[in-house]
Amino acid sequence: MLSSTEENYLKAIYKISERDNKAASTNAISSEISTSAASVSDMLQRLSSKGMTHYEKYKGVTLTEQGNKIATNLIRKHRLWEVFLVEKLNFTWDEVHDLAEQLEHIQSPDLVNRLDQFLEHPKFDPHGDPIPDADGNFTHRRQIELTNLATEEIGTLVGVQEDSSTFLKYLDRMGLSLGTELKVLEKFEFDGSVKLLVNNKEQITISNKVCKNLFVKK
């Protein structure tokens, strides 16, 4: 049984390895969880002695099968709780992440599966991220960055890269939510901003930075 702290390290390693497709470096973990590199270095040795990670000094760290299983299960719990908070308790999508960060550490063999059943086995969380099943398998979805949509092409918003509260609130203000249909009207080469037709109604212009954080399905 791992502590919440140890679990958070596993999650960070999982996230970084997936993003960069290589072993997670001490510094990467350090900035991911806002902890000093010295503390991270220390923890990596402990996690390895517990069989959670493969670690060679100065070479970075990867998850063992066991570590991967725990990390995946944490993600499963995190995302299921987010669905619960939005669907059942009517929280908004920008409010649930921090709460899920706490709830994902609740220890119970049964709870997560009962929650899954209660929510009717959702495949995606409120931010469009896939929820792994009990065996750790993710539903894969063909999605592309909005920046890769050509002029006149149409896509449906299915996910976001970032899930900071400020970004999500900005999307709400712009009338953008998961399922929204977007048509690219014009792409401005100057700064990469894009003019969109939203749900065949309003026209809005969003910056390149926003574009890069939106995933659509053609």
Partner DNA sequence: TTCTATTTTTAGATTAGTCTAAATTTATTA
Partner DNA sequence: TAATAAATTTAGACTAATCTAAAAATAGAA
What does the binding site for its own copies look like in residue numbers (CB under 8 A)? Answer: 85, 88-91, 95, 99, 102-103, 106-108, 110-111, 114-115, 118
Region for 200 from its dihedrals, namely left if φ exceeds 0, alpha if ψ lies in -120 to 50, beta otherwise: left
Q: Which is nearer to its own copies, 118 or 188 (CB)?
A: 118
Q: x/- site string to Mn ion, residues 122 to 161, per CB under 5 A?
A: ---x-x-x--------------------------------
* C-alpha–C-alpha distance, residues 192 and 190, integer Å: 6
Assigned token pair, 64? 């063992």
Assigned token pair, 73? 């299960």
Q: How many CA atoms lie within 13 A of 133 on its CB side?
A: 7
Interacting residue with DNA among 18, 22, 45, 137 (CB under 7 A) = 45
Stretch that binds DNA, among 3-11, 77-85, 168-176, 208-216 (CB under 7 A): 3-11
Q: How far is the CB of 97 from DNA (least distance, A)?
A: 19
Q: How far is the CB of 66 from DNA (least distance, A)?
A: 17
Strands lying side by side in the sheet with 202-206: 144-145, 214-217, 154-160, 181-187, 194-198, 202-206
Q: Max CA-CA distance within the chain?
A: 58
Q: Which is nearer to its own copies, 59 or 114 (CB)?
A: 114
Choose the one of Mn ion, its own copies, DNA, none that binds residue 200, judging by a C-beta under 5 to 8 angstroms depending on kind.
none
102 binding DNA? (CB under 7 A): no
- In contact, 147 and 206? CB cutoff 8 Å: no
Q: How far is the CB of 25 from its own copies (least distance, A)?
A: 31
Calculate the dihedral angle through the C-alpha atoms of 169, 75, 121, 108, rounding to the nearest 10 degrees.
Answer: -120
32 binding Mn ion? (CB under 5 A): no
In the complex, which residues of this chain contact DNA (CB under 7 A)? Answer: 3, 5-6, 25-28, 30, 34-46, 55, 57-60
